[in-house]
A and B are shown apart, each in its own frame.
Chain A
């Protein structure tokens, strides 16, 4: 499926050495026993050093996962059909299109916008997009004076039901570390130059509340339908690292 993804070709054989037990110190259970070495001792687990922050993936990880799944299925602990369904849900059914519909509705319906900003969970629930990692939603609106951006410095918390699973960059050390201390520099890397007079608000998702940015509606979109507006809304705009661009036919965007 996606096995020819980005990290193939960087080569797993740059380094001749194998780290047989790279997790040996990780994790102790509630009884104080170290138990992290179970996926260790694999002589094929060569490390793969990437220039950026795509971390290494041991060459045999696919085999380890396959072995784990086989054991759990054989023991009757998981149902492969349930696994297929979870993967399919996040690959094909839940994603940023959901959030885009929320945004478009707020753009065309001022009352909905009011409800959305006052009680994000209830208003998003009206459209049916609540669920795991999105039970408690807070929507923050960008304006001419305030620009909002979302991060999770401690892990990678993200509103799954409205945006799907997060992109790798959102989970990267660079984004998690830098967004709180130098948001303007991070946004500039995304091509978004926030003027000095605009306040940048960074929302660190440290508790159970998940955030969604309501971007500004671009100029020149007065004639568009709600559905057409939703087409303009990008994932990045709802994280707060981009603006929504006006459609080309409507002239230059902001």
Chain B
């Protein structure tokens, strides 16, 4: 989706603010949100949870910018848990489990999903290193890993990273991960992306699934 999360190339955010000696978590709750997000993952199996990134990217732009990183994660986790009936509003308000709620049950993982990692499967590669490719002008409603700033731009394949399932979701967040294809490192010259604003010799390398690309 063409959301606020797709920030590459935007102006107006000011300098990069740094903090010396920054702790891993600034507050105890941040660490708990991080840990809870990982620990509850198995409860999403078989429940059709919308994709992790899809939920984050669906946060309206003004809210997204206002919320801290782990606050967005909290929102994402609560949306998924509550959306699949594993916790109720009342439980979240009181901090107590509802004694009348059915006991939650772990379900088997979704069949057919290839997950997110490198796949040991033979899929023909449409492109090779040094091929010129254009990023297709796609504007998906769901989650996509094709950043806006490359769309319509021409680059050069520098490496074939092997086969991965496409991570895109549909417009409701369903992320089947069932389309294995090659992922390529594509080099875009800075001037191709940003015109005169880029230094002549600089470049941006973007990892793109094969179906995001077309031959030039």
Interface residues of chain A, those whose CB is within 8 Å of chain B, are: 1-3, 5-7, 22-23, 25-33, 35-36, 38-39, 47, 52-58, 61-62, 64-72, 74-79, 82-84, 86-87, 90-91, 95, 135-136, 138, 151, 153-156, 164-165, 167-169, 171-178, 180-184, 186, 189-190, 196-197, 199-209
Contacts and interface: CB of A to CB of B under 8 A. Distances in A.
Contacts of B203: 199-202
A31 B50 CA distance: 10
Interface string B176-210: 00000001010000000110011101111111110
Given A83-B39, A167-B22, A207-B183, A154 B164 contact: no
Contacts of A176: 7-8
B79 A26 contact: yes
Contact of A208 (B19, B35, B164, B206): B164
A116 to B, nearest CB: 15
A27 B50 contact: yes
B206 A47 contact: no
Contacts of B129: none
A186 B183 contact: no
Contact of B79 (A7, A38, A84, A135): A38
A82 B207 contact: no
Given A70-B96, A172-B13, A180-B9, 10 more contacts: A3-B27, A30-B174, A35-B79, A35-B82, A67-B94, A153-B6, A190-B16, A199-B202, A201-B202, A201-B205
A178 to B, nearest CB: 7
B71 A61 contact: yes
Interface string B51-66: 0010110111001011
Band of interface residues on B: 35 or more
17 contacts: A1-B25, A5-B26, A29-B49, A29-B84, A33-B83, A35-B79, A62-B27, A74-B97, A75-B101, A77-B43, A82-B39, A153-B7, A153-B9, A202-B202, A202-B203, A208-B116, A208-B207
Contact of B35 (A22, A52, A82): A82
A218 to B, nearest CB: 22
Nearest to B68: A55
Given A32-B172, A136-B118, A168 B205 contact: no
Contacts of B112: none
Contact of B197 (A68, A87, A182): A182
B34 interface: yes
A207 B181 CA distance: 12
A30 B208 contact: no
A178 B75 contact: no
B156 interface: no
A137 to B, nearest CB: 11
A138 B17 CA distance: 27
B16 A189 contact: yes
A83 B26 contact: no
Contact of A206 (B28, B146, B197): B146
A171 B69 contact: yes
Contacts of B211: none
B92 A68 contact: yes
A27 B59 contact: yes
Which interface residue of A36, A90, A182 has the most chain B CB atoms within 10 A?
A: A36
Contacts of A65: 29, 32-33, 36, 74
A75 B58 contact: no
Nearest to B197: A181
B82 A154 contact: no
Contact of A6 (B26, B29, B77, B146): B26
Given A26-B75, A167-B22, A71 B96 contact: yes
